[in-house]
A and B are shown apart, each in its own frame.
Chain A
Amino acid sequence: MQSAWDAQGHSAEVLKHLMLGIIGVCTLIWLLVVLMLFAALVKRRGQAPLQGEHAERKTRLVVYLSVAVTTIIVAGLTLASFFATRDLVVGRDMDLTVRIKGQQWWWQVTYEGSSFGPRFQTANELHIPVGRNVRLELESIDVIHSFWVPSLAGKQDMIPGRMNVLTLRAERPGVYRGQCAEFCGLQHSHMALMVVAQDDDQYRRWAQAQALDAAVPDDTEVQAGRAVFMRKPCAACHTVRGTEAQGSSGPDLTHVGGRRTIAAGLLETTRGSLAAWTADPQTLKPGTNMPIVPLTSEELQQVSAYMETLK
């Protein structure tokens, strides 16, 4: 799931150990301070307050010591976090490079060509091979977003005009949720991303399938849906590779039916959710850049059937 404690990647595991260590030390200090506080509160009940040089001397020594210990602990924690940062580095060799572009309010994901397969583009779902070093090149085309999949690694901002790099290495297969962590406007809350970690073979098969153009439908309803898609404004914003739909302001839909969720983690992908989303995106995700496209109910059925087959 989406939790720093559920560490399934190299970085997240290093961070989890560091965090447990620091939290342990800090909890202990807090307990000591509170203990001292309550000891001080009950100690001198009914006695006169102490004043003067003599009374203060011993206390002063304790205060000096406490400050010294504070300094040492603080220095220790600084070093610990410095070494943890060094441990985050997994080496120079990258097995795969993926460019992720944040935008209001979804993720464009472009896989560079690698030993696993050629270059291709998807959206809102990132597949990575387990145990491999994956270099993420993080960019933004509009406002600042932040890429964060807590089970795999700490977050990294996506800043327009810059490129940040984050290395992921998943240690175990699984589906890990991530979510934009920098306030990016109206639908910051609904800008999630699924990371699917699979073994090499599964990943290779998946990547090679993704690189293919969309299948040509043979079912008549689906064919009708495809026609609606091309005739209506859909194609102006979305790409379906292998068709005349070459828009680029919305997510690439070539294999949308094969993704786990639609609208950046908003809904599980089913024919029903595809239809609901297409019919009224502004109710499901108020402010999203996808407009309401007037469709008859028949057209809606056909388009969602078409979307569902784009696996």
Chain B
Amino acid sequence: MTGVDRISPDVLDLDLQDAEVERHLSRTWGTSPGFWGAIATVDHKVIARRYIATAFVFLILGGLLALAMRLQLARPESRLIDPDRYNQIFTMHGTNMMFLFAVPVMGAMAIYLVPLMVGTRNVAFPRLNAFSYWIFLIGGSLLWLSFALDAAPDVGWFAYVPLSGPQYSPGKRTDLWAQMITFTEVSALAIAIEVVVTVFKQRAPGMSLDRIPVLVWAMVVMSFQVIMAMPSIMFASTTLILDRLVGTQFYNPAEGGDALLWQHLFWFFGHPEVYIIFLPAVGMVSSMLPTFVGRPIFGYLALVMALITTGILSFGLWVHHMFVVGLPRMGESFFTASSMAIAVPAGIQIFCWLATLWLGRPVFRVPLLFIIGFIVTFVMGGMTGVMVASVPFDTQVHDTYFVVAHFHYVLVGGAVFPLLGAIYYWFPKMTGRMMSETLGRWAFGLIFVGFHLTFFPMHILGLQGMPRRIYTYQPELPWSGLNLFISISSLILALGFLVFFVDVLRSWRHGLPAGPNPWGASTLEWATPSPPPPYNFLRIPVVQDRNPLRPEDKELPVAAGLRVDRRELLVTSVVEALPEARESSPQNSIWPFWAALATSFMLVWSIFSPWAVVWGAIPVAVALIAWFWPKGTPEDEA
């Protein structure tokens, strides 16, 4: 703060008219114009929009890889793509879709929606948020750069040792994969911590824990999962790099290491990862559904409990990815039971949504169509999930196309369908413009039909004995017909996504103006203009029940007393959300960007030399010192 500020008395919003508050807040919270202003911004909405757009670019790239694989598999012994390239392609497809699309896009939705839904002006740790995005962008770009140079990782997104070890994967490909994991770990962890703190300490006054929107609960559970699962993959990827780079022997059985250790560590992260992607989708569905049936969600408490239960149980199932590695039978039975048990909270969620639909009056807009498609598809994926949870059943379908079908049903049906619905639903909030209802219906129809025609036959192929991750198959095997059918169907699916993206681009420029609450929804993000101003809310709303905007003519009470001449947030108590303090929120800064560049430089260099960690730490330290340089801001006031 400058000296001028210290002399002048605090400018509080309760003394001012709306127009004047708006003028002050816009200047205080705004993003500076120009290139450096854009780089330096810490506005959660701007960063989240970038995050979402980047993740969708990665989705398109990953989808193109899928089409390439389908082209190769359309005919037996096809020689379009050689095995080396094919292995890179399926490794990239999996890694990209999991680490660069699904997890980041869900985190990004959280970064956009959570502060608006809990009624605050920015996320906690906004500079960390900016840092997280730059790290994600650089890490993802590096991976794709390696693919463009024909040097992408080729050991699968799971990188099982010893195949990924120094002996069987010489060169830098696997190091790149492992280091890319580090990039995404860092960015996901940053988001997780921001979300937890934002939700627990920055909620609008009166939004006690039992009034939080289900979507926000889902994001909290997801964030805790990230915080608990990431250390496992962090240890795994680091030890893999150590094995490869400095000759440790964590995973080398010949030197006392253990090949299965990797699988335990990877899936201890990898299974919660699936729910890290799925639970936000549960939240999206639960928060969108009431809007389209004209009544609140049925079973709020049950849904929240189901979310938390799923989050906890998800850490007790990792072994079901390892049912054929030869574990003791007692252990296998335990993990069968725990994997089956997760069907119970999933069932509770489904039944609550069905009950909500049953009691309500559905209005068939595009988001609801995606929700319907989601229920139909996800329940099917859940059913095949129950199948693979059975050890004996799994021994026949493990690592076959049956599993490929299963997890696409769960991840595309269970997470991407709700996400697309959510884009249709919140696009007006993010851009101020509606997406097209007509194109949306076409997109939904093509994606739904294309998806099922593409992925359902894979169940049959798997039962007919077709393993995963094969770049070709011999003509005498009875798989050619279905594979050709799948490859053709995948074009319908791709066309559906094309329509979706056309709609996004068209609506961004020419969509109908949306207004603050085009759907008549009941949560706080609709209480502010679309797109929201940099400060989110002119005055901080006060929440008195679970649906603050219902009935629609209700006047939303507001709290006052925050300064408008510097960035200030209201900090509230964890359970009751009673106001506790006025907390300053960080200014825009260029340093998260430089810190991200310095970190990336160090991480990439470390692939080539362990000394990078030493010398590369210097620029990181410089950037961090500048980032945290004390500004002489007076203490926060309670």
> Are B324 and A3 within 8 A (Cβ)?
no
B507 within 8 A of A: no
What does the 1/0 interface line of A163-192 toward B look like (CB < 8 Å)? 011000000000001011111111111001
* In-complex Cβ contact of A188 among B329, B336, B354, B470 (8 A): B470
**In the complex, which residues of chain A have a beta carbon less than 8 angstroms from the beta carbon of B260?**
159, 162
**In the complex, which residues of chain B have a beta carbon less than 8 angstroms from the beta carbon of A78?**
333, 336-337, 340, 390
> Are B400 and A181 within 8 A (Cβ)?
yes
How far, in whole Å, are A18 and B624 apart by their CA atoms in the complex?
59
**In the complex, which residues of chain A have a beta carbon less than 8 angstroms from the beta carbon of B372?**
37, 41
> Are A51 and B296 within 8 A (Cβ)?
yes
How far, in whole Å, are A1 and B473 apart by their CA atoms in the complex?
14
- Name A's interface SS: mixed
What does the 1/0 interface line of A263-284 toward B look like (CB < 8 Å)? 0011000000000000000000
Known: A4-B465, A181-B399. A160 touches B472 (CB 8 A): no
* In-complex Cβ contact of B344 among A43, A70, A164 (8 A): A70
A148 within 8 A of B: yes
What does the 1/0 interface line of B352-392 toward A look like (CB < 8 Å)? 10110111111000000000100110011001101100111
* In-complex Cβ contact of B254 among A5, A104, A161, A188 (8 A): A161
What does the 1/0 interface line of A72-85 toward B look like (CB < 8 Å)? 00110110111011
Which residue of the partner chain A has the closest CB to B479? A2
A95 within 8 A of B: no
How far, in whole Å, are A29 and B387 apart by their CA atoms in the complex?
13
- Name B's interface SS: helix
* In-complex Cβ contact of B325 among A84, A88, A157, A188 (8 A): A157
* Interface size, chain A (Cβ < 8 Å): 87
**In the complex, which residues of chain B have a beta carbon less than 8 angstroms from the beta carbon of A185?**
87, 163, 168
How far, in whole Å, are A85 and B375 apart by their CA atoms in the complex?
32
> Are B336 and A33 within 8 A (Cβ)?
no
Per the 8 Å Cβ criterion, residues 1-49 of A in contact with B are 1-5, 12, 14-15, 18-19, 22-23, 26-27, 29-30, 33-34, 36-37, 39-41, 43-49
A242 within 8 A of B: no
Interface centre among B336, B391, B396 (most CB of A within 10 A): B396
* In-complex Cβ contact of B295 among A45, A50, A144, A146 (8 A): A50
> Are B465 and A150 within 8 A (Cβ)?
yes
Could you tell me the distance in whole angstroms from the C-beta of B233 to the nearest C-beta in chain A?
A: 19
How far, in whole Å, are A92 and B167 apart by their CA atoms in the complex?
39
How far, in whole Å, are A34 and B468 apart by their CA atoms in the complex?
30
What does the 1/0 interface line of B392-409 toward A look like (CB < 8 Å)? 111111111000000000
> Are B348 and A67 within 8 A (Cβ)?
yes
What does the 1/0 interface line of B304-335 toward A look like (CB < 8 Å)? 00000000000000000000111001001100
Per the 8 Å Cβ criterion, residues 526-576 of B in contact with A are none
* In-complex Cβ contact of B360 among A50, A153, A180 (8 A): A50
Known: A160-B253, A188-B470. A66 touches B393 (CB 8 A): no
Known: A148-B467, A179-B467. A33 touches B386 (CB 8 A): no
**In the complex, which residues of chain B have a beta carbon less than 8 angstroms from the beta carbon of A75?**
340
Could you tell me the distance in whole angstroms from the C-beta of B293 to the nearest C-beta in chain A?
A: 6
**In the complex, which residues of chain B have a beta carbon less than 8 angstroms from the beta carbon of A148?**
465, 467
Could you tell me the distance in whole angstroms from the C-beta of B133 to the nearest C-beta in chain A?
A: 33
**In the complex, which residues of chain B have a beta carbon less than 8 angstroms from the beta carbon of A154?**
324, 392, 394-396, 398
Could you tell me the distance in whole angstroms from the C-beta of B85 to the nearest C-beta in chain A?
A: 10
| In the A-B complex, the 7 residue pairs with the closest CB atoms | A154-B395, A161-B253, A81-B390, A2-B465, A189-B470, A164-B326, A26-B383
| Known interface pairs A51-B296, A155-B324, A179-B467; 4 further A-B residue pairs with C-beta atoms within 8 A, sorted by A's residue number | A30-B380, A85-B392, A104-B168, A286-B84
